[in-house]
Amino acid sequence: MNIHFKENKLFFEGVLLEDIIQSHKTPFYLYSQKVISDTYKNLENILSSEIFFAIKANPNQAILKLMKNCGAGADVVSAGELQRALHAGFDPRKIIFEGVGKSKEEIEFAIQKKIRLINAESIDEIKLINKIGKETNAIINIGVRFNPNIDSNTLDKISTGKKTDKFGISIEQLNEVISLSKSSDHINLKGISCHIGSQIQSTAIFGKVFDTMKKTADLFFSCGIVLEYVDLGGGFGINYEKNHNDLDIVNLGKLVSSVFKNVPYKVSFEPGRYLIARAGIIITKILTTKNNGGINFLIIDAGMQTLLRPAMYAALHRVEALNDLQEKNINYTVAGPICESSDIIAKDIQLPMQKSDNYLVIHDVGAYGASMASNYNSRGLPTEILVNENKFSIIHEEENISEIIERDTIPDWL
C-alpha cells in the first residue's frame, strides 16, 4: 500500500498525508506516479509487446502525459478521447480508435489526424469508412475487431466477447470481412483486434483468445491479406479485495511468446485498469455515524458521485481507517451522501471504532473512478492530485456549484 507510517506520521509515497488533507477539501483522489510507471515498465517487459493505454480508464491529461512518457500508445473510444490523447502529445501513429458506435464525424476526424488504425466493429462500419475514403479520394488504414464468442467468465456488465454482446464483428463473418476488404478500393486492412471483457483472472481464457486470433491472422495471410498488427485487447484482472492475487502476468507473457513466436506482425495489448487501478486512492471524511436496524453506518462525503463502481457493478473496494488503529474493531457499512439506497461503498466491514470527522481511505480507485464521477445531486467533481516522490500537484481542480449552474441556459420565455 502507498500509505505508510514514518516517525509515527502517515505518508503517501514521500508526502505527509496530513499536509494534503489539511489543504484540500475531501473527497479527493490521490495517484502515485511511481506505481503507474513501475506497473507499466513491468508489464511491457513481461509481455514484450506494444502497449496502448485504454484512455477510458483514466483520461486525466497528467495521467495521459505520464503514460505517453512511459512509452505507451493510446486506445481511444470516442473523438473526445482522441482529442485528449493528441493534446497530451501522443503520436497519432500510436493511437488506435476502437468503439462500437463511431459517428461519421468521428471517423472523419480520426482520418484527418492520420492515426494508426480505426478498428471497425461492424460490416456497416467498414462500408462507411470505404465510402468516406471514396468521397475524399483517400485510402484509409483500418483494423477489424472480431467477436470470438469466448466467455471471459466475468460480470455480464463488463463482458464484451460473447456472440450475444454488442461488440465486434462475429467471427462467423470472417469470410465476409475478407471478401469485403478485397473489394473495397479505399480501405487498407492492416490489423485485427479482439477484447472479450474486463477483470479476467484466467490465463487459460487468454489462451483461447490467442489461439483464435492466431488462426484468424493465418487465414488472412492465406487469402493474400498481409496484416501488420494483431491486437489482443486488455482485461487483465486485479483483485479489489486484496492488494495481490491479480492475473498471473508472467504466465501470460510466456503464453504470448509461445503462441506468437516468429510471427510477421506486431502483437499489442490495450490494458487500462491493470496499469492504473492500484495507483489511486480516495481520501474521504466521515460526516456522521448512525445505527439503523442494527447496522452501524458511516456516512462519508465520497459517494456514488465520486466512485460509481460499487453502485453500478456491486464492486468491492478495500476501505481502511486513518485514525488510531488500536481502537477495537466494529462492523460498519460505509455509505455515501447521495439520495439513493444503492449509494453504498462497502458493506459489513471491520474498522476501528469511528466517529465524525475521521478520515477513511478507499483503495484501488485509479481506474474507472474519477473517469466515471458525476455531478449527481449537484455535487462538484472531486480534486485529483498526482504524487511524485516527495512532491504533489493538483491535476484536476474541484468543481464548485457556481460552475455547474453556469452551464445551464434559461430560455428567454421563462
Q: Is 194 a catalytic residue?
A: no
Mean pLDDT of all residues belonging to the chain = 93
The C-alpha cell that represents 189 in the structure block = 486492412
User: Has residue 363 got a pLDDT over 90?
Assistant: yes
- Which alpha helices (H) appear in 95-171, and where do they start and end? 104-112, 123-136
Highest mean pLDDT among 5-14, 26-35, 236-245, 311-320: 26-35
For 102-111, write each residue's pLDDT tens digit. Answer: 999 999 999 9
User: Has residue 340 got a pLDDT over 50?
Assistant: yes
Q: What is the mean pLDDT of residues 163-167?
A: 72
Task: Average the pLDDT over each of 66-75, 127-136, 222-231, 238-247 and give the range with the smallest value.
Answer: 238-247
For 341-360, write each residue's pLDDT tens digit. Answer: 999 999 999 999 999 999 99
Q: What does pTM read for this prediction?
A: 0.94
User: Has residue 159 got a pLDDT over 90?
Assistant: no
User: Has residue 153 got a pLDDT over 50?
Assistant: yes
Name the burial class of residue 292, with classes exposed (0-12), middle (13-18) and buried (19+) by CB atoms within 10 angstroms of its CB.
Answer: exposed
The C-alpha cell that represents 218 in the structure block = 493465418
* Rg of the chain (C-alpha set): 23
Nearest residue to 300 (alpha-carbon basis) of 240, 375, 362, 353? 362
pLDDT band for 249, please (50, 70, 90 cuts).
very high
The angle subtended at Cα 193 by Cα 192 and Cα 196, nearest 5°, is 150
Q: Can you name the residues that pair with 1 across neighbouring β-strands? A: none
| CATH number for the domain running over 99-269 | 3.20.20.10
Q: β-strand 28-32 against 15-16: which pairing, if any? A: unpaired
Predicted local distance difference test score (pLDDT) of residue 241: 87
**Distance between CA 167 and CA 159 in Å, rounded?**
9
Let me know: does 76 contact 55? Beta carbons within 8 Å: yes
Provide the 10 A C-beta neighbour count for residue 212: 18
**Distance between CA 308 and CA 372 in Å, rounded?**
6
Nearest residue to 30 (alpha-carbon basis) of 70, 64, 66, 3? 3
> Which fold does the domain 3-30+278-406 belong to in CATH?
Lyase, Ornithine Decarboxylase; Chain A, domain 1 (2.40.37)
Highest mean pLDDT among 193-197, 242-246, 338-342: 338-342
Predicted local distance difference test score (pLDDT) of residue 221: 96
For 222-237, write each residue's pLDDT tens digit. Answer: 999 999 999 999 999 9
For 371-401, write each residue's pLDDT tens digit. Answer: 999 999 999 999 999 999 999 999 999 999 9
User: Has residue 65 got a pLDDT over 80?
Assistant: yes
Predicted local distance difference test score (pLDDT) of residue 243: 76
**Distance between CA 149 and CA 169 in Å, rounded?**
10
Tell me the helices (H) and strands (E) count for the chain, helix number first: 12, 21
For 298-324, write each residue's pLDDT tens digit. Answer: 999 999 999 999 999 999 999 999 986
Predicted local distance difference test score (pLDDT) of residue 158: 45
Q: Is 295 helix (H, G, I), strand (E, B) or coil?
A: strand
Let me know: does 368 contact 306? Beta carbons within 8 Å: no
Name the burial class of residue 3, with classes exposed (0-12), middle (13-18) and buried (19+) by CB atoms within 10 angstroms of its CB.
Answer: middle
Percent of the chain with pLDDT over 90: 85
How distant is the alpha carbon of residue 98 from its chain centre? 13
Domain boundaries along the sequence of the chain: 3-30+278-406, 99-269
User: Has residue 412 got a pLDDT over 50?
Assistant: yes
**Distance between CA 166 and CA 101 in Å, rounded?**
10
Predicted local distance difference test score (pLDDT) of residue 22: 92
Tracing cell 479489489 back to the chain, one arrives at 240
Name the burial class of residue 290, with classes exposed (0-12), middle (13-18) and buried (19+) by CB atoms within 10 angstroms of its CB.
Answer: exposed
